Amino acid sequence: MECLICRNQIQNNIKFTSLFFMYQDEVYLCDECRDQFEPIRSKHCPSCYKSGIDEVCQDCLYWQKRGKEVNHRALYTYNQAMKQYFSAYKFQGDYLLRKVFSPIIRKVLVAYKGYTIVPIPLSNESFQKRKFNQVTGFLDATALTYCNLLKISRQGKPTQSSKTREERLKAEQFFVIDSTKKIPEKVLLVDDIYTTGATMILAKDLLVESGVKIVKTFSLAR
């Protein structure tokens, strides 16, 4: 089997050096590439999994002050290797890369029993460019059932890069509910990268307004 990142042959599929990866049923990365990624370990923000701190982080405090509760889990820090990974996966469109983290994503998501998995949708513009939603790509690779309950409103999502952090946090609602779908009791929102939490909070607000009782959130990177 070839490593999906460096394309070298994976020598030994049985040798696991990290406990974190023990439960991978399939191996898509060689040891060298795998070691470049940084799993978020025990020291993290209790609300959002921001790595390296024990107390509630600045982003979560911001939301707390506005009466928004954060209940997020992330698996990896958004380090250089993760940036490169997303650049190859999203922007160069290497669709095979959706599989890299699927064993661990699957393992973590199945633990959310009774939750309907809802991916954060892509704007039409991004979808035209990319031809796939990177989040549903991950989910398809896990073979778990999910529901495309959210859509981007017709006005579309403002491009994030052109905005300051403060503007981004104040962004207006751009999600809409797909009215053909039934509203579940509990939702696990899934995104690729969690930055300030603004996207998740917007989506969560809409779900709660629409009658969802409990919303938790998940991302591959934070």
DSSP 176: E
Cβ 10 to Zn ion shortest distance, Å:
8
Cβ 219 to Zn ion shortest distance, Å:
12
Residue 215 DSSP SS3: strand
> Is 5 or 152 the residue whose CB approaches Zn ion more closely?
5
DSSP assignment string, 161-200: GGS-HHHHHTPPP-EEE-TTSPPPSEEEEEEEE-SSSHHH
Cβ 28 to Zn ion shortest distance, Å:
9
Which segments of 54-193 does DSSP mark as H helices, in order? 58-65, 80-86, 102-109, 124-130, 134-142, 165-169
> Is 1 or 6 the residue whose CB approaches Zn ion more closely?
6
The backbone torsions φ and ψ at residue 71, rounded to the nearest 5 degrees and listed phi first, read -135, 80
Cβ 177 to Zn ion shortest distance, Å:
27
| Residues binding Zn ion (CB under 5 A) | 3, 5-6, 30, 33, 45, 47-48, 50, 57, 60
> Is 55 or 172 the residue whose CB approaches Zn ion more closely?
55
Tokens 């959706």 appear where?
A: 98
Cβ 166 to Zn ion shortest distance, Å:
18
DSSP assignment string, 24-91: -SS--S-HHHHHHS-B--S-B-TTT--BT-SSPPHHHHHHHHTT----EEEEE---HHHHHHHIIIII
> Is 184 or 197 the residue whose CB approaches Zn ion more closely?
197
> Is 56 or 147 the residue whose CB approaches Zn ion more closely?
56
> Is 3 or 135 the residue whose CB approaches Zn ion more closely?
3
Residue 201 DSSP SS3: helix
Residue of 52, 18, 55 lying closest to 34 (CA atoms)? 18
Cβ 109 to Zn ion shortest distance, Å:
20
